[in-house]
Chain A
Amino acid sequence: MIRAEGVSKWFGDVVAVSDVSFAVGPGVTALLGPNGAGKSTLLRLLCGLARPSRGQVEVLGGDPREDLSLFARIGLVPQQEGLFEAHTPLEFTTLAARLSRVPDPEAAALAALDTVAIDPASPKPVRALSKGNRQRVKIAAGIVHQPEVLFLDEPLTGLDPRQRRVIIDLVHRLGEDGRCVLVSSHVLDEVERFGSRVLVIAQGRLAAEGDFRDIRALMDDRPHRLRVTTDAPHRLAAGLLDQAVVVGAAVTGPAQLEVETTDAPAFRRTIAVVARERDVRLDEVVPLDDDLDSVFRYLVGR
């Protein structure tokens, strides 16, 4: 549904996005990167709000800069607070529906506000709403025309944990409906909750794409770190080193062993055999660096 081919964007001497190529299908994909990595610029390029300096962007089979009909099929929830402050949520969302030429704007606005759990009868103007509710109104305006592709730029910024949960559930629902939802964020635990498929951007370049667990598996040069809880860590470490399935082992406690392996499948096959042969009880085997945080640190720190 979204395709970028060799996309670069520069502003004078500053290269914001450099030679990025990827494809994104239906479902939720997280656009991940540190502050200033080029996430917002990339979203603007994908929405057609900016023209690539080089390369091609394709959304729903067309160029969002050229094909104006695509705007009716694309939704954007920007990071900036671009709200009409004096409007009520219903007025604001209805206006967004009108601008998208929805046949029945008021009905569409009511449905969108219902989706984000905002009371459409609220007489309060947008400026009087809490940060979380303003964010939800922005999302309502972004989805009021039922877009097939939805871009959300840092949607959880400034929200409390309960509001975050609501927005994350909403994003999941939109993805499960078959829409393509691209969510940008620099907060890793947020991204992990959106889903496992990620696009990682660092210094304007694409660092990785795909399921972050698969990305971790591709990192051949980074040994996997695992913590093993056992009644005889020294004996188990000796056995694992003897079988050459680990490249390092450290006894970190009376019942704990940390190992590094470059061949995780072989390690999984071998550890139980070694434990049985050495008469060692295995209580727990926990990967220490297979989470998104580790994957991100490895990718961005390269």
Chain B
Amino acid sequence: MSDARIVDRGYRPYDGPRLGAPGAIRSLVRHTAWRVLGIRRNARTKVLPALSAGIAYVPAVVFVGIAAFIPDDRLRDDVLPSYGEYYGFVTMAIVVFAAFVAPEALCPDRRSGMLGLYLASPLTRDTYLLAKGVAVGGLLALTTLGPPLLLLLANTLQGVGPDDPLDVLTTLARVVAAGFMLAAFFTVLSLVASSLTDRRAVASAGVVLVLLVSAVVANVLVEEMDAPGWVLAFDLFDTPFELAGRIFGERGEVPEVSTAALATSAAVVIGLGSLFVRTRYQRLAVVS
């Protein structure tokens, strides 16, 4: 009798655990984060994320070192920035990430047709965008939240930061609030640009253009055409960092703009931007 056999290599049903929509969201967040960071991709894709992280964390590490090794209190106080001032050192890291790294989260899915495959899973358009937003926002928070937290921790341990436990908690709350505000602001900005094109380079150019044009227009209007000071709240480059400073009770380069105007501007950008991206994706014709 023959012992020959032909093995069925055809369709095999998945018999592992089914994690449903929450599992799909978690999976998409994880894989989006990997893709954005260049994990399991070639070295070229890792350069910009590494550059962002470097720009964001190196100053914090240097300042921690200064706090630890310079015994002179006055010299140390002159050199070390306040928490609000620290964002001036990481501005470029945040902008580089928002403009050049984050578009990787949305653009390739539409360009390659992966969006159709994602939407054939338990993901809806809203949960898809939620996962993308969480991934980009979470990574941006690493640059907006991580370094000030590191600074706070080191300063507290060195005894040069807030001394009182209540002060520590207050500073921590401010660090968290400012970090999340900056991450949300730039995440939305990046997602808006990425939702308009499936080309990453165009999205990157769009983010940079919006930041620069809004800054130039707002400043020209106020300084050359005598527009009221609150117009500077629509300078999208400076507004989020000025607002971050205000969260720490510090006034930066546009003291004439009220905190309420800055907060309103940031809320409008985040709110309208989110609505725009959602509407755009709800109306998007998905073909795979």
B1-9, B58-66, B87-95, B126-134 - the one binding chain A: B1-9
Query: In the docked arrangement, what's the CA distance between A265 and B10, Å?
Result: 28
Task: Return chain A residues, CB-CB under 8 Å to B9.
Answer: 202-203, 205-207, 302
User: Least Cβ distance of A292 to chain B in Å?
Assistant: 13
By a CB distance below 8 angstroms, the chain B residues around A209 are 3-5, 7
Given contacts A12-B40, A13-B40, whether A211 and B6 have CB atoms under 8 Å apart is no
Flag if B7 contacts A210 (CB, 8 Å): no
Q: Is the CB of A208 within 8 A of B40?
A: no
A121 at the interface (CB under 8 A from B): no
Q: Which residues of chain B from 1 to 54 have a CB within 8 Å of any chain A CB?
A: 2-7, 9-10, 40
Q: Which of A12, A13, A219, A302 contacts B10 (CB 8 A)?
A: A302
Report whether A207 and B6 are in contact in the complex, using a CB–CB cutoff of 8 Å.
yes
Binary interface encoding of chain A residues 1-26 relative to chain B, with 1 for a CB under 8 A from any of its CBs, else 0? 00000000000110000000000000
**How distant is the Cα of A299 from the Cα of B4 in the complex, in angstroms?**
13
B6 touches A218 (CB 8 A): yes
A299 and B2 contact, Cβ closer than 8 Å, known pairs A12-B40, A13-B40 = no
Given A12-B40, A13-B40, residue A210 in contact with residue B10 (CB < 8 A): no
A186-219 interface with B by 8 A CB criterion: 202-203, 205-212, 214-215, 217-219
Q: Distance in Å from the Cβ of B35 to the closest Cβ of chain A?
A: 13
The distance from the CB of A25 to the nearest CB of chain B, in whole angstroms, is: 10
* B residues in contact with A202, CB < 8 Å: 9
Per-position binary interface string of chain B over residues 187-212, scored 1 when its CB falls under 8 Å from any chain A CB and 0 otherwise? 00000000000000000000000000
Structural contact, A208 and B2, CB atoms closer than 8 A = no
Name the A residues within 8 Å of B2 (CB-CB).
Answer: 210-211, 214, 217
Interface centre among B2, B7, B10 (most CB of A within 10 A): B7
* Interface residue SS majority, chain B: loop
Do A206 and B40 have beta carbons less than 8 Å apart? no
How far, in whole Å, are A297 and B4 apart by their CA atoms in the complex?
17
- With A203-B9, A302-B9, A302-B10 as known contacts, state yes or no: A210 contacts B3, CB within 8 Å: yes
The A interface is mostly helix, strand or loop, or mixed, namely mixed
Query: What's the nearest-Cβ distance from chain B to residue A104, in Å?
Result: 40
Are A205's CB and B3's CB within 8 A?
A: no
Contact B10 A208, beta carbon cutoff 8 Å: no
With A and B bound together, what is the CA distance between A218 and B2 in angstroms? 10
- Give A300's nearest chain B residue, CB to CB: B9
Residues of B within 8 Å of A12, CB to CB, are: 40
Residues in B neighbouring A217, C-beta threshold 8 A: 2, 4
- Among the interface residues B3, B9, B10, B40, which one has the most CB atoms of the partner chain A within 10 A? B9
Shortest Cβ distance from residue B98 to the other chain A in the assembled complex, whole angstroms: 29
In the complex, are the beta carbons of A210 and B40 less than 8 A apart? Answer: no
Q: Closest CB of chain B to A206's CB: distance in Å?
A: 5
**A215 adjacent to B6 (CB under 8 Å):** yes
Quote the shortest CB–CB distance from B137 to chain A (angstroms).
26
Residues of B within 8 A of A13 (CB): 40
Contact at A214–B10, with CB atoms within 8 Å? no
| Interface of chain A residues 258 through 302 with chain B (CB within 8 A) | 299, 302
A residues near B7, Cβ cutoff 8 Å:
205-209
Bound complex: CA of A210 vs CA of B10, how far in Å? 20
Which B-chain residue is minimally distant from A210 (CB atoms)? B4
Q: Which residues of B contact A218 (CB under 8 A)?
A: 4-6
Q: Mark A211-229, 1 if CB is under 8 A from B, else 0.
A: 1101101110000000000
Task: Give B41 Cβ to nearest chain A Cβ, in Å.
Answer: 11
Query: How far, in angstroms, from A217 to B9 measured CA to CA in the complex?
Result: 18
Q: What residue in chain A is nearest B10 (Cβ atoms)?
A: A302
Q: In the complex, what distance in Å separates the CA atom of A217 from the CA atom of B4? A: 9
Residues of B near A207 (CB, < 8 A) are: 6-7, 9
Min CB distance, A41 to chain B, in Å?
17
* Nearest CB in chain B to that of A13: its residue: B40
> In the complex, what distance in Å separates the CA atom of A210 from the CA atom of B5?
6
A212→B6 CA distance, assembly (Å): 10
Q: Please name the residue on chain A nearest to B4 by beta carbon.
A: A210
Which residue of chain B lies nearest to A19 when distances are taken between CB atoms in the complex? B12
* Other-chain contact of A219, B3, B6, B40 (Cβ < 8 Å): B6
Contacts of A299 in B (CB 8 A): 6
Chain A contacts for B10, CB-based, 8 A: 302
Question: With A and B bound together, what is the CA distance between A210 and B4 in angstroms?
Answer: 4
* Interfacial residues, chain A to chain B (CB-CB below 8 A): 12-13, 202-203, 205-212, 214-215, 217-219, 299, 302
A-B contact sample (20 more), CB < 8 A, given A209-B3, A209-B4, A210-B5: A13-B40, A202-B9, A203-B9, A205-B7, A206-B9, A207-B7, A207-B9, A208-B4, A208-B6, A208-B7, A210-B3, A210-B4, A211-B2, A211-B4, A212-B4, A214-B2, A214-B3, A215-B5, A217-B2, A302-B10
By a beta-carbon cutoff of 8 Å, the part of chain B in contact with chain A is 2-7, 9-10, 40
Residue contacts A-B, CB under 8 angstroms, 5 given: A13-B40, A206-B9, A207-B9, A209-B7, A217-B2
Top 8 closest pairs, chain A to chain B, by CB = A210-B4, A214-B4, A214-B2, A208-B6, A215-B4, A206-B7, A205-B9, A218-B6
